[in-house]
């Protein structure tokens, strides 16, 4: 049957969780939601749109900086899809100018692939003091080559997020980036709160992995952390139990003056769905006890999926179900200008997930329906 109603125990529509609501499927796509009719197929669990991740450095054994190709992006996206993330923003970090240009060309070539949102350019125009695992050799002032890359991507309507430090980037550059439609994200920054606020006025609209690689909040100087929390910026945050304490994640979510401005990101590396190590700037990064450790003994990205992050938000950070789901689905989709990924309508059944009572991914809706069909046939 190509036209039928499916009634899950509960349903998240992109905004709230509801009971007694069903989705109508036609040709394996959601075409309507509404009160569950009597003949709807019952489906155990919580039905949600698949997860959206705006900071994905790698997956499936591929690190984008090392493999900036269409096939590399496809492998990364496929690895994350296995864990419930159906839309990704491939992320290229600080490196040689030609690596950025190759990554941009790969993003262009990958635009026909389902679930590829665009390109996140994280660096190289960042603070040396707050560079994190980014190689200082490649940190440099904003230049014409980067502007040309961003301009070209936007000219052909490819979404771009660019992480930069406002204290080392002219305000006129931030304004120009915002004017051409790039999402300017403040990160890897040692700026003062005043400099952050100036960048916001110039057009910055996001912040990259709150708390990590940014000047901290103190009693007399809010720093980047305090300025971001006090603002209405969108802000990414990693919830893996290593980058940010769970209690601080919960505090930040509760402290924002405007709701639905926090975005769960994985900052994931090649080890997600791949081997336990990868090459970064010619040196091996190894997974140890859930942490990715570089040659300096510091964190080098994360080994976590959006699905795991959502579970941690709810069960460890004290974030309510609906807020956590919006952080991993609706809000990132809005931030990057792809709202269709934030809801259920006009979505394919393999883009929707069924969660169990512990909020773990049980299956895609497609897989769940196949299992129900097999179960019914066996009876």
Same domain, 102 and 238: yes
Same domain for 199 and 56: yes
CATH code, domain with 267: 3.20.20.140
Determine the pLDDT at residue 99.
98
The verdict on whether 356 is a catalytic residue reads no
Q: What is the total count of domains within the chain?
A: 2
Nearest to 293 by CA among 139, 91, 133, 130: 133
Instruction: Single out the residue of 269, 275, 327 nearest to residue 299, CA to CA.
Output: 269
State the pTM of this model.
0.97
Residue 333, domain member (yes or no) = no
For residue 335, being part of any structural domain is answered with no
Mark whether 55 and 44 lie in a shared domain: no
Domain identity same for 44 and 55: no
Residues ≥6 apart with Cβ < 8 Å to 114 = none
Q: Which of 267, 350, 356, 358 is catalytic?
A: 267
Structure tokens at 247: 């209690």
CATH of the domain at 365: 2.30.40.10
**pLDDT tens for each residue of 266-316:** 999 999 999 999 999 999 999 999 999 998 888 899 999 999 999 999 999
Same domain, 44 and 58: no
Domain span holding position 62: 51-328
Q: Each residue of 11-57: pLDDT tens digit?
A: 999 999 999 999 999 999 999 999 999 999 999 999 999 999 999 99
Nearest to 54 by CA among 188, 159, 189: 159
Q: Do 208 and 314 belong together in one domain?
A: yes
User: Do both 114 and 178 map to the same domain?
Assistant: yes
Indicate whether 153 belongs to any domain.
Answer: yes
């Amino acid at each position: 049957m190509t036209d039928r109603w499916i009634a899950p125990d509960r349903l998240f529509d992109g905004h709230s969780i509801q009971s007694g609501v069903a989705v109508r499927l036609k040709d394996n796509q959601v075409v309507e939601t509404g009160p569950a009719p009597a003949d709807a197929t019952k489906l155990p669990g919580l039905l949600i749109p698949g997860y959206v991740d705006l900071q994905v450095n790698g997956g499936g054994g591929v690190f984008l900086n090392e493999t900036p190709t269409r096939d590399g992006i496809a492998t990364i996206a496929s690895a994350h899809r296995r864990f419930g993330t159906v839309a990704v923003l491939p992320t290229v970090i600080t490196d040689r100018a030609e690596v950025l240009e190759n990554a941009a060309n790969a993003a262009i070539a990958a635009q026909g692939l389902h679930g590829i949102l665009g390109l996140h350019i994280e660096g190289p125009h960042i603070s040396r003091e707050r560079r994190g695992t980014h190689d200082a050799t490649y940190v440099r002032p904003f230049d014409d080559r980067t502007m040309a890359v961003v301009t070209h991507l936007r000219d052909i309507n490819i979404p771009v997020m660019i992480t930069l430090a406002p204290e080392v980037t002219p305000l006129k550059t931030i304004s120009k980036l915002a004017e051409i439609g790039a999402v300017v994200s403040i990160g890897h920054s040692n700026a003062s709160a005043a400099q952050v606020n100036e960048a916001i006025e110039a057009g910055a609209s996001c912040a990259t992995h709150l708390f990590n690689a940014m000047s901290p909040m103190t009693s007399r100087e809010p720093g980047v952390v305090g300025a971001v929390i006090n603002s209405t910026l969108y802000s990414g945050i990693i919830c893996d139990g290593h980058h940010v304490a769970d209690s601080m994640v919960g505090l930040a979510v509760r402290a924002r003056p405007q709701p639905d401005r926090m975005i769960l990101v994985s900052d994931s590396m090649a080890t997600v769905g791949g081997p336990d190590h990868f090459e970064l700037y010619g040196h091996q990064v190894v997974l140890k006890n859930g942490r990715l450790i570089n040659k300096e003994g510091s964190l080098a990205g994360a080994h976590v999926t959006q699905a795991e992050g959502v579970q941690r938000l709810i069960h460890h950070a004290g974030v309510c179900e609906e807020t956590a789901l919006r952080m991993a689905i609706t809000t990132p989709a809005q931030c990057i200008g792809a709202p269709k990924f934030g809801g259920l309508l006009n979505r394919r059944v393999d883009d929707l997930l069924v969660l169990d009572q512990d909020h773990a991914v049980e299956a895609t809706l497609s897989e769940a329906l196949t299992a129900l069909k097999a179960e019914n046939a066996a009876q």
